[in-house]
Structure 1
Amino acid sequence: MSSSIEDSAADSLPRPPVGASVDVQNKPRDTTDKPQASVPMGEYDGSRYVTIADVTYPSRASRYKKVAVLPLVFLIFYEVSGGPFGTEDAVGAAGPLLALVGFLVFPLIWSIPEALITAEMSTMFPENGGYVVWVSSALGPYWGFQQGWMKWLSGVIDNALYPVLFLDYMKSAIPSLEGGWPRILAIITLTVILTYLNYRGLTIVGWMAIALGVFSLLPFVAMGFASIPKLEPSRWLVVNLHTVDWRTYLNTLFWNLNYFDSISTLSGEVDNPKKTLPKSLFYALILIVLAYFFPLLIGTGAVPFDPDLWADGYFSEIAKDVGGVWLRSWIQIAAAMANIGMFVAEMSSDSFQLLGMAERGMLPEFFAKRSKHGTPPIGILLSASGVVFLSWMNFQEIVESENFLYCFGMILEFIAFVRLRMKYPNTTRPYKVPIGTIGAIAMCIPPSALIGVVLALSSWKVAVVSLVIIVMGLVLQPCLGYMEKKRWLKFSTSANLTALNQNGETANALVG
Structure 2
Amino acid sequence: MTGACEAAPARRRGLTVLPLVALIFYDVSGGPFGIEDSVRAGGGALLPILGFLVLPVLWSLPEALVTAELASAFPTNAGYVAWVSAAFGPAAAFLVGFSKWASGTLDNALYPVLFLDYLRSGGGLVLSPPARSLAVLALTAALTYLNFRGLHLVGLSALALTAFSLSPFVALAVLAAPKIRPSRWLAVNVAAVEPRAYFNSMFWNLNYWDKASTLAGEVEEPRKTFPKAVFGAVGLVVGAYLIPLLAGTGALPSETAGEWTDGFFSVVGDRIGGPWLRVWIQAAAAMSNMGLFEAEMSGDSFQLLGMAEMGMIPAIFARRSRHGTPTYSILCSATGVVILSFMSFQEIVEFLNFLYGLGMLAVFAAFVKLRVKDPDLPRPYRIPVGAAGAAAMCVPPVVLITTVMCLASARTLVVSAAVAVAGVAMYYGVEHMKATGCVEFLTPVPPDSLRGSSSSSSSSAASDNGGDDDVEDVCALLLAAGEHAGEGVSVSKENY
TM over 0.5: yes
* C-alpha contact (below 8 Å) 1:497/1:509 kept by paired residues: no
* 1:363 has 2:333 as partner: no
1:478 to 428, 441, 457: 428
* C-alpha contact (below 8 Å) 1:177/1:186 kept by paired residues: no
- 1:294 and 1:107 mapped to 2: Cα distance? 15
* C-alpha contact (below 8 Å) 1:135/1:143 kept by paired residues: yes
Q: What does residue range 222-261 of structure 1 map to in structure 2 within 5 Å?
A: 222-261=171-210
1:443 to 372, 387, 393: 393
* C-alpha contact (below 8 Å) 1:123/1:431 kept by paired residues: yes
Q: Which residue of 1 aligns with 2:32?
A: 84
Deviations 1:154-195 (A, max 9, x none): 000000000010000001478664441110011000000000
* C-alpha contact (below 8 Å) 2:354/2:416 kept by paired residues: yes
Aligned partner letter, 1:253: M
* 1:354 has 2:324 as partner: no
1:184 to 120, 127, 133: 133
Q: Which residue of 2 aligns with 1:400?
A: 350
In the TM superposition, what is the alpha-carbon distance from 1:263 to its structure 2 partner? 0.3
In structure 2, the CA distance between the partners of 1:196 and 1:435, relative to structure 1 (3 Å rule), is same
Deviations 1:247-279 (A, max 9, x none): 111100100001000000010000000000000
- 2:17 and 2:447 mapped to 1: Cα distance? 23
* C-alpha contact (below 8 Å) 2:19/2:156 kept by paired residues: yes
* C-alpha contact (below 8 Å) 1:359/1:368 kept by paired residues: yes
Q: Which residue of 2 aligns with 1:74?
A: 22
* C-alpha contact (below 8 Å) 1:194/1:343 kept by paired residues: yes
Aligned partner letter, 2:419: I
In the TM superposition, what is the alpha-carbon distance from 1:496 to its structure 2 partner? 12
SS in 2 for 1:491: strand
* 1:311 has 2:261 as partner: yes
In the TM superposition, what is the alpha-carbon distance from 1:486 to its structure 2 partner? 1.2
* C-alpha contact (below 8 Å) 2:36/2:262 kept by paired residues: yes
In structure 2, the CA distance between the partners of 1:176 and 1:355, relative to structure 1 (3 Å rule), is same
- 1:53 and 1:483 mapped to 2: Cα distance? 29
Percent identity of equivalent pairs? 53
- 2:5 and 2:339 mapped to 1: Cα distance? 44
* C-alpha contact (below 8 Å) 1:369/1:376 kept by paired residues: yes
Q: Which residue of 2 aligns with 1:98?
A: 47
Q: Which residue of 2 aligns with 1:157?
A: 106
RMSD of aligned C-alpha atoms?
A: 2.0
* C-alpha contact (below 8 Å) 1:127/1:497 kept by paired residues: no
* C-alpha contact (below 8 Å) 1:115/1:261 kept by paired residues: yes
In the TM superposition, what is the alpha-carbon distance from 1:230 to its structure 2 partner? 1.2
Q: What does residue range 113-192 of structure 1 map to in structure 2 within 5 Å?
A: 113-172=62-121, 177-192=126-141
Q: Which residue of 1 aligns with 2:170?
A: 221
In structure 2, the CA distance between the partners of 1:250 and 1:267, relative to structure 1 (3 Å rule), is same
Q: Which moved more, 1:272-281 or 1:496-505?
A: 496-505
Aligned partner letter, 1:52: A
* 1:52 has 2:4 as partner: yes
In the TM superposition, what is the alpha-carbon distance from 1:475 to its structure 2 partner? 1.6
Q: Which residue of 1 aligns with 2:371?
A: 421
- 2:229 and 2:317 mapped to 1: Cα distance? 28
Deviations 1:122-156 (A, max 9, x none): 11110100000000111000001001100000000
Deviations 1:456-506 (A, max 9, x none): 101111110111101110121011110121111111134699999568765
Deviations 1:366-385 (A, max 9, x none): 10000000000101111111
* 1:295 has 2:244 as partner: yes
- 2:259 and 2:345 mapped to 1: Cα distance? 16
- 1:179 and 1:249 mapped to 2: Cα distance? 30
In the TM superposition, what is the alpha-carbon distance from 1:53 to its structure 2 partner? 5.8
SS in 1 for 2:257: coil
In structure 2, the CA distance between the partners of 1:175 and 1:230, relative to structure 1 (3 Å rule), is closer
- 2:188 and 2:124 mapped to 1: Cα distance? 33
In structure 2, the CA distance between the partners of 1:298 and 1:181, relative to structure 1 (3 Å rule), is same
In structure 2, the CA distance between the partners of 1:495 and 1:125, relative to structure 1 (3 Å rule), is farther
**Stretches of 4+ moved more than 3 A in 1?**
172-179, 493-512
- 1:315 and 1:496 mapped to 2: Cα distance? 55
* C-alpha contact (below 8 Å) 1:315/1:331 kept by paired residues: yes
In structure 2, the CA distance between the partners of 1:179 and 1:434, relative to structure 1 (3 Å rule), is farther
In structure 2, the CA distance between the partners of 1:175 and 1:316, relative to structure 1 (3 Å rule), is closer
Alignment coverage as a number of residue pairs: 460
Q: Which moved more, 1:166-175 or 1:499-508?
A: 499-508
In the TM superposition, what is the alpha-carbon distance from 1:243 to its structure 2 partner? 2.7
* C-alpha contact (below 8 Å) 2:104/2:352 kept by paired residues: yes
Q: Which moved more, 1:239-248 or 1:445-454?
A: 239-248
- 2:166 and 2:450 mapped to 1: Cα distance? 43
* 1:509 has 2:461 as partner: no
Long gaps (5+) in structure 2: 452-457, 459-468, 482-495
- 1:329 and 1:498 mapped to 2: Cα distance? 61
- 1:495 and 1:205 mapped to 2: Cα distance? 32
SS in 1 for 2:188: coil
In the TM superposition, what is the alpha-carbon distance from 1:78 to its structure 2 partner? 0.2
SS in 2 for 1:308: helix
TM-score by length of 2: 0.89
Long gaps (5+) in structure 1: 1-48
Aligned partner letter, 1:123: S
Aligned partner letter, 1:211: A
In structure 2, the CA distance between the partners of 1:369 and 1:444, relative to structure 1 (3 Å rule), is same
1:280 to 217, 220, 229: 229
Q: Which moved more, 1:369-378 or 1:463-472?
A: 463-472
- 1:207 and 1:171 mapped to 2: Cα distance? 29
